[in-house]
Chains A and B, each alone.
Chain A
Amino acid sequence: MALKSEIFPVMCSADVVKVRQVVRQWAAQLNFSLVEQTKLVTATSELARNALEHGGGGSMLAELVEDGTRKGIRLIFDDKGPGIPNIELALKDGYTTGGGMGLGLSGSRRLVSDFQITSEPGRGTTVTIIRWK
Chain B
Amino acid sequence: MDRIPILKFGNCLLVTIQVDMHDELALSLQEDLTAQIAKYGSRGVLIDISSLEIVDSFIGRMLANIAAMSRILDAQTVLTGMQPAVAITLVELGMVLPGIKTALNVERGMELLKDYLAQHEEPEESDGSEE
Name A110's contact: one of B23, B53, B93 (CB within 8 Å): B93
Given contacts A13-B24, A38-B85, contact A110 B54 (CB under 8 A): no
Chain A residue numbers with a CB within 8 Å of B4 are none
**Most chain B CB inside 10 Å of its own CB: which residue of A38, A107, A110:** A38
Interface flag for A128 (CB, 8 Å): no
What 0/1 readout, one digit per residue, does chain B (41-73) give for beta carbons within 8 Å of chain A?
000000000000111111011000000000000
Contact A39 B89 (CB under 8 A): yes
Enumerate chain A residues within 8 angstroms of B23, measured Cβ to Cβ: 13, 16, 49
Q: How many residues of B contact A (CB 8 A)?
A: 22
Interface of B is mostly: helix
With an 8 A cutoff between CB atoms, is A61 at the interface? no
What band does the interface of chain A fall in when counting residues whose beta carbon is under 8 Å from B? 20 to 34
- What are the interface flags for A1-36 relative to B under an 8 Å C-beta threshold, 1 for contact and 0 otherwise? 000000000000110110011001000000000110
List chain B positions with a Cβ less than 8 A from chain A.
Answer: 20-24, 53-58, 60-61, 84-86, 88-89, 92-95
A binding-site residues for B, Cβ under 8 Å: 13-14, 16-17, 20-21, 24, 34-35, 37-39, 41-42, 45-46, 49, 93, 100-101, 103-104, 106-107, 110-111
